[in-house]
Each structure stands twice: as C-alpha cells, then as structure tokens.
Chain A
C-alpha cells in the first residue's frame, strides 16, 4: 500500500517540473532508491501504469537505480557493506559507523519532449 502514496508523490513532482519547463510530455523518470528505503520496484511500476494514465506522464518509462548500503567505520576508516546479521565494522569491530550510501530516495531527473 505504501507504494501507492509514493507513486502519487512521484507523479506530482514529475508533472510539476515538466510544467515549469513548458514540456508537453514526460517520457522517462530516473529514480535513485537506496537499499534501506522500503520501496518495491514492481509495485511502483504497477501503480504508475494506473495513475499516470490521462496525464502528460502517461506511458513514461521508470528507471530505477538501486544503491547498495555502504557503511564507513569512524574508528579505522574501513568501508563495508553490512549483512542482515552483522552491522559492526568487520575489520575492527567498532560500532561507531556512518551510513555513506543506501538511504537515497529521490527523483533525480526526467526526460521530456518540448
């Protein structure tokens, strides 16, 4: 259900930016979604086909760029990808880490026809 709200928001943002640029039609959307964002590509695509119907974004292709989670250890500098059972730094065991990537949740760009 969550994806319906997300897809509606996506359409609103895309149409607003297209109109600001006096575009006639939106042909593609480029999304950047971190691994720690709770979004399913298939569900967004499903809702997109329904809610974009009758708008200037009808038929636009959705491009998903998934970004894996990267953590960076604040003690030893190690960069690593956590597993589902371990989050601490694999090199020095520190719990002091920073999330470098994986929380993105953005519409990066759209393709439009003038």
Chain B
C-alpha cells in the first residue's frame, strides 16, 4: 500500500540555503551586495557603468556578470573601472546561488565595499532564484511599455528598488507613468523608485545617493 508523506518544502529550498551561505560570505567580508535584474535591453549594463563611474573614489566596486554567452558586459564594467567576473550560464536563463558561489571564489571580497551582480536579462525566472545579495534592484525602461508590472508581477514583488530608465524617451513613446507606478505600488508598497536616464544622466544622482546610503547603513550595522 502506498503511504502519503507530508513534505511541505519550498521547491527551491536547496538554492535558498546556498543563498544564505553566500550572504554569510558577503557579511564576513563586510561587503554589501546587490542583484540587478531586468529584461534584455532595459539598461542594466549602462546603469552599472554609470554607477561605477559615479561612485568612483567613494566605493570600491566588484562586479559579477551573468550572461548566456560573451563577456561584453563584464568588459564594459571593467572599462568603467570595476573589477569584473564573468559567469557564462551556458544557456540558463538566470543566475542561481551555485553560480554565484563559484564566482565568489574568484573575487577578493575583502577588497570591495559593494558587489554588483548583474543577472541574465530576463523578466521571468531570476526573481525565483535567490543569490544571497542584501538587496535586489529591478531596472525597467520606458520603451518596454507601462504594463510590465501587471504582466510580470513576480519580478516586481520581491525587489527593494525599481529604476525606471530611459526617461529621455518619454516624449516619443506612449507610457502612462501613473498606471505603471500604480502597478508597482500594489505589488510592492513603498519600494524605492528612481526615474532616470543613463544616456543623459538625468536622475542618476538620486539613485547613486540611495545606493551609497544603503552601503553605509550596512557597514555601520
């Protein structure tokens, strides 16, 4: 006779456990870590370039970059002045805690104040796989359309900040900012939001100040 055994375990619990270990490593080295997620083309790499440039001389920044192939993005971060490690996921649509764990062995964590992990461009899966970062950031962009929070609620639910990039395109693209922000407000009340353009630099100071504040708060804790 078959017997029913109750399990009640989150399906990605193994990943969650590893993420906790990763976070302990960040904590031990006194490094603040963020996970940057977005759809392809939203401007993750541009935001990271601008962040590395904007915080030069203020924070020591390390980068872990996830991509299906190529190291273009890591190269760009490197050129902007960060130490970057490239993870090629070999087809996987997201980073997971195991990939980050092995990347951490290649970074001298103690030499950084901030580690930025750039996830694979994708608005579906990355939210489900915790990496062990302290905060996660979603980069949205005007040309993607104002319905994205409604279509990808899982991504908007768990993040600590939403960056709305490419606001310089607002005059040219139909985008109802109120509708977009209402969706975010329902899914993630009170989440930090930054409207900016990586191309023109408008709005960047607010984002940089928030990020620097987060790092300081972490280091003082």
Contacts and interface: CB of A to CB of B under 8 A. Distances in A.
A106 interface: yes
Interface in B75-133: 91-94, 96, 124-125, 127-129
Given A2-B93, A21-B5, A88-B182, A107 B11 contact: yes
B154 interface: yes
Interface stretch (B12-20, B26-34, B207-215): B12-20
Given A88-B186, A108-B7, A5 B13 contact: no
Contacts of A23: 3, 5
Contacts of A6: 11-12
B150 interface: yes
Interface string A95-111: 11101000101111111
B66 interface: no
B7 to A, nearest CB: 5
A91 B70 CA distance: 50
A21 B125 CA distance: 33
Contacts of B189: 95-96
A36 B125 CA distance: 11
B187 interface: yes
Given A9-B15, A28-B2, A37-B154, A108 B185 contact: no
Contacts of B43: none
A56 interface: no
A95 B5 contact: no
B12 A9 contact: yes
A5 B151 contact: no
B57 interface: no
Given A2-B93, A110-B7, A97 B186 contact: yes
Contacts of B125: 1-2, 38
B157 interface: yes
Interface in A16-43: 17-18, 21, 23, 27-28, 31, 36-38
A96 to B, nearest CB: 7
Given A88-B186, A103-B157, 12 more contacts: A1-B91, A5-B96, A17-B9, A38-B127, A69-B153, A84-B151, A96-B189, A106-B8, A107-B11, A108-B6, A112-B3, A113-B1
Interface of B: 1-15, 91-94, 96, 124-125, 127-129, 147, 149-151, 153-154, 157, 182-183, 185-187, 189
Interface of A: 1-2, 5-6, 9-10, 12-14, 17-18, 21, 23, 27-28, 31, 36-38, 69, 71, 84-88, 95-97, 99, 103, 105-114
16 contacts: A1-B91, A6-B12, A9-B14, A9-B15, A13-B7, A13-B14, A23-B5, A28-B2, A36-B153, A37-B154, A87-B153, A87-B187, A103-B154, A110-B5, A112-B5, A114-B3
